[in-house]
Chains A and B, each alone.
Chain A
Amino acid sequence: MSEPSVRISGTVLASLMFQHVNSDSDVEGLVLGESSFHEQVTISDSQSDHIHIEEIYNIQKHVACLKLNILYSSSGEVNLDVLQEMLADNKQDSVIGWYRQRRHSEQHMTFREKLVHDKLKSALKNPHMIFLLLTSSRVTPTDSTHRMEYSAFTSRSRRFVNIPVLVTNLGLLEQQGYWKVSAPCSASGYSLTMNKHGSRFFSPSGLLKEVDEMNKMNDSLQVELQKACREVEESERAVEALQLEVSALRKSLREKQQSSEGKVPGTSSPVEPRNNQLLLKAVRALLGSCPLLLTQRLSLQACPVPSRDTMAADSDREQEQPALLQDGRGTKQRGALQGRGRKRRRNNC
């Protein structure tokens, strides 16, 4: 599916309008320029690729007919002699269409314009031709404001369709996408400059020189990237092997430990923490009677409350032998003494 469009610079369009404004009647002539066809590939989520052809007709100049209806007959037959005369200097290849300017008429092709367009295509052997139509009309009754409308047509399957016209000034006004081709220009000065300085920037293949260097750098980068990827992969594999080895060793160690614990009986019960009674006795003996080193608790009535250690030391002296042998009974007795001690405290205060 092709998408045709017409590009015309502001100066060319203005010159067409100027010619029409200064003419007493309708004006017609040929438009010269170049047509190009570009293949656009659009990738979207819905389909892998969408290819459409973009037809661009770039109007660069126009050649007006000296008189109306001189280029064709009343039935639309093109006068080849007049056509050749208009297209001096072999400009036939640069003809991309023709134009007509009418006042106070609609933006539709007329009967004869359709006939002439088809005949012109055959005469110039160019199946892709455009017809540019400019119509002017008076907007206000006082002639203070006039409207100039323009549109382009092309024929598709014996039907004439309207195609968009874009007016370019110094460059394309489109802001989207990348420029894949430069703006066409047929000026001789432009061609001379490009021929003179082009070899500094362009390689023989027509591409910019930097493009080749960039491609080479990109290739080198790709090689380094691949090397790094390989190294990472190798290290990852080594890590994985080591992890397997470690887990295997842990497993075997655990099994060994389990098997060694199973041979010794009675050692399965947890070891209870044991008080160092000898040390306790020694500390009490040295420091237990020193009031400066004793902390005292006071009751609400400010009476000192004998500490538990003091009471425990007394009870230890009484039950020294049995405490060394059986700690469980000692604990019980201690608790009973404490209870008695509590009672005593109550009585004292």
Chain B
Amino acid sequence: MSPEVALHRISPELRPLLCSVVRNGRVGLDSTNCLRVTDLKTGCTSLTPGPCCDRFKLHIPYAGETLKWDIIFNAQYPELPPDFIFGEDAEFLPEPSELPHLVHWDAGNPESLLQLVKELIQQYHQYQCQRLRESSRLLFEYDSLLEDPSYGRNLEIYAGRKNSWTGEFSARFLLKLPVDFSNIPVYLLKDTALDPGEDVALLSVSFEDAEATQVFPKLYLSPSIEHALGGSSALHIPAFPSGGCLIDYVPQVCQLLTNKVQYVIQGYHKRREYIAAFLSHFGMGVVEYDAEGFTKLTLLLMWKDFCFLVHVDLPLYFPRDQPTLTFQSVYHFTNSGQLYSQVQTSYPYSPRWDGNEMAKRAKYETPAAYRSYCKCYLL
């Protein structure tokens, strides 16, 4: 159910409360997904004219799971606070004193419901942590992570009993990795209206048994981070070591991700330096260049009254990967109707050169490359 449909069907007095939930409702670590509303129903008789829905099911992402809580209002008494049914967690009974937005319910504040849900999530987190006591091994994992504030404050746990007959216990830890993504280049989205959300990296570690013999880690990146690092296949995290523990594994993954991010940031800066150097050396011959990602540069050069275009393509992992030079004619087309062009990759290059050196070398090596291009061109 889309947010617009839900807002259309909800009782008008309750609409502001629901609006803040479906529009701005991001709770927990996985803030890329909004809270979702389904199963809108009414507590009024069928003779009551609509819209009069006052109860619905709220889907909340938590620790890799989706909690489905029933929220019950009363359309005839919209000032009353809501009531909750916590899905399958029938034993979850939060302490009312820890829910100030429930005790002092303000029906006129549109943020009341969202704040109350956040407080309930906090209580739910404590409830799940209490359930970890059923396994001493997993409790140790939790306690060790809790000692480090960079992990303990951004941690969600879902403890469940897989098989009620055998009593096999399982748990999932979801951690927000403390990696700085602020210097990553701005993410260019095709649809600028879509909010990519906060840049975040989440590590999910599933313990399929209480003794931690079957552990499955997985890394989740927000869209901008994933794009900046080169897609979902660009980063592979190591497998969880047998007999290892989270307090050793999580920093390892953090370091790996940090190195990758640093590499991408350095590549961006290197590209920018490269483009800047080319601009200074070939200033009058610059046709266009990528001013955001610094991945492309086009030059119009002339050699002995013969003009030609040079397209420079900088790869993502520049300077490790060599830029590609493409010579293109401004006079003639090929049989397929394209401008005649030739790609040049065999030119002197070293990733250890700075941008200025690369531009200088390119300036001096262009004629040789051009002569090679002309031979092919004339032929």
CB neighbors of B among A83-105 (8 A): 102-105
Q: Mark B74-105, 1 if CB is under 8 A from A, else 0.
A: 11110011011110001101101101001101
CB of B42 within 8 A of CB of A104, answer yes
Give 6 A-B pairs besides A104-B55, A109-B85 with Cβ atoms closer than 8 angstroms.
A25-B43, A75-B102, A105-B55, A110-B84, A111-B85, A111-B93
Q: Which of A25, A112, A138 contacts B74 (CB 8 A)?
A: A25
CB of B70 within 8 A of CB of A115, answer no
In this assembly, does B44 line the interface, its C-beta being within 8 Å of a C-beta of chain A?
Answer: yes
Closest to B93 in A: A114
**Smallest Cβ distance from A117 to chain B, in angstroms?**
11
Counting residue pairs across A and B whose Cβ atoms lie within 8 Å, the total is 75
CB of A111 within 8 A of CB of B94, answer yes
CB of B83 within 8 A of CB of A110, answer yes
Cα A74 to Cα B103 in complex, Å, equals: 6
CB neighbors of B among A105-132 (8 A): 105-106, 108-115
In this assembly, does A254 line the interface, its C-beta being within 8 Å of a C-beta of chain B?
Answer: no
Chain B residues within CB distance 8 Å of chain A:
41-46, 48, 55, 70, 72, 74-77, 80-81, 83-86, 90-91, 93-94, 96-97, 99, 102-103, 105
- In the complex where A111-B84, A143-B46 touch, is A102 in contact with B96 (Cβ < 8 A)? no
Closest to B47 in A: A24
Which residues from B are CB-within-8-Å of A74? 80-81, 102-103, 105
Closest to B120 in A: A111
Which residues from A are CB-within-8-Å of B80? 68-69, 74
14 pairs, A vs B, C-beta closer than 8 Å: A23-B45, A24-B44, A24-B76, A25-B44, A26-B43, A68-B80, A69-B77, A74-B80, A75-B99, A75-B103, A103-B44, A105-B70, A109-B85, A111-B86
Closest to A102 in B: B43
Cα A115 to Cα B72 in complex, Å, equals: 16
**Smallest Cβ distance from A91 to chain B, in angstroms?**
27
Q: Mark A1-44, 1 if CB is under 8 A from B, else 0.
A: 00000000000000000000101111000000000000000000
**Smallest Cβ distance from B118 to chain A, in angstroms?**
16
Main secondary structure of the interface of A (DSSP, over half): loop
**Smallest Cβ distance from A324 to chain B, in angstroms?**
110
Cα A68 to Cα B45 in complex, Å, equals: 16
- In the complex where A104-B41, A104-B55 touch, is A25 in contact with B76 (Cβ < 8 A)? yes
In this assembly, does A251 line the interface, its C-beta being within 8 Å of a C-beta of chain B?
Answer: no
From B42, B81, B85, B91, residue with most partner A Cβ within 10 Å: B85
Which residues from A are CB-within-8-Å of B81? 74
Which residues from B are CB-within-8-Å of A110? 70, 72, 83-85
CB of B83 within 8 A of CB of A112, answer yes
**Smallest Cβ distance from A306 to chain B, in angstroms?**
108
Q: Which of A104, A105, A138 contacts B85 (CB 8 A)?
A: A105
CB of A75 within 8 A of CB of B83, answer no
Cα A112 to Cα B99 in complex, Å, equals: 12
The 8 closest A-B pairs by CB, nearest first: A104-B41, A75-B96, A25-B76, A74-B81, A110-B83, A111-B84, A103-B43, A143-B46
CB of B70 within 8 A of CB of A106, answer yes
Cα A259 to Cα B46 in complex, Å, equals: 118
CB neighbors of B among A138-162 (8 A): 138, 143, 159-160
Which residues from A are CB-within-8-Å of B55? 104-105
Which residues from A are CB-within-8-Å of B90? 108, 160
Which residues from B are CB-within-8-Å of A25? 43-44, 74-77
Closest to A158 in B: B93
